[in-house]
Chains A and B, each alone.
Chain A
């Protein structure tokens, strides 16, 4: 069986990540160690072949840093809320399963959005419909339709942030027309 060859450029982010992990594990970033790590990472990527992740080809670091800080702030806030809920509300907590249809149809962006949503305490992805890129979330402490709306808006704003960081041009265009409307 012949495999579809992927270009080095497409594989590069994976190789760089493997080299960083290698250096971090040895706690040694000297050139010799990194070179050996690079050789190993190429061997690993060849032997344990995975389907390539389709990147959009752009990455905006100016949007990425505020997004990361906002993410950390949200994690802190939501962790405190969860602690409060666990202690005071406990068994009487009300939940909801909410469907959110995303704009993007790229696997990478849907996965990234799902990851960020799941990492912020209080919501987790129960089911994904890949054909319509719909996420079904289970959310903690939702008792009114208004809160369901708020959650949907939050998910869409997180997706918008991710599109600004690494979405394709088409998706950016969708965001722009939405903002104009």
Chain B
């Protein structure tokens, strides 16, 4: 750290401190959501999403504190990989959770997938029946 703490450096420190606190709050929000939401699918929202912003803010504060230009590309790559992988894991868990009925149906105000699933199941059952006969 440079001895000059009144100028630009102070502002950079304040900005990165704010980023770190807000970013950590997002992770806290994820933890609270995991505890408080009622079923797997709504917990998935809490488990996967707030860290997208949380990680972004923490990486940005690392970038501000390191004070070298060459650390930014690697932070950006780390964030992009997070952007690419988070929806995939959320989708895989969500899909498996819906299929194995790990959800509270009484908490859904509308379900436009259920009819489609039942239709497909009925069709599969019919085809099984005709195959046997």
Residues in A lying within 8 Å of B, measured CB to CB: 20-21, 23-25, 27-29, 75-76, 78-79, 82-83, 85-87, 90-99, 114-115, 118-127, 129, 136, 138, 140, 142-145, 148
Q: In the complex, what residues of B have CB within 8 A of residue A118's CB?
A: 48, 86-87, 90-91
Q: A87-B29, A126-B113 are in contact. List 11 more A-B contacts (CB 8 A).
A: A25-B77, A79-B26, A79-B50, A79-B53, A87-B32, A93-B37, A97-B98, A121-B49, A123-B45, A124-B87, A148-B110
Q: Within B52-100, which residues are at the interface with A (CB < 8 Å)?
A: 52-54, 70-71, 73-74, 76-77, 83-84, 86-87, 90-91, 94-95, 98
- Bound CA–CA A118/B102 (angstroms): 19
Say yes or no: B112 contacts A136, CB within 8 Å. Answer: yes
Beta-carbon contact of A114 and B50 below 8 Å: no
- Inter-chain CA distance A21–B79, complex, in Å, is 12
**A-chain residues with CB within 8 Å of residue B41 when the two chains form the complex:** 95, 124, 126, 138
Interface residues of B, count at CB 8 A: 43
* A99 to B, closest residue via Cβ: B112
With a cutoff of 8 Å between Cβ atoms, the chain A residues found around residue B116 in the complex are 99, 129, 136
Other-chain contact of A96, B25, B77, B84, B110 (Cβ < 8 Å)? B110
Would you list 21 pairs from A and B whose C-beta atoms are within 8 A, ordered by A residue? A23-B73, A27-B73, A76-B53, A79-B26, A79-B49, A82-B49, A83-B25, A93-B38, A94-B108, A96-B111, A97-B98, A97-B114, A99-B112, A115-B87, A118-B48, A119-B83, A123-B45, A124-B91, A126-B94, A127-B113, A138-B94
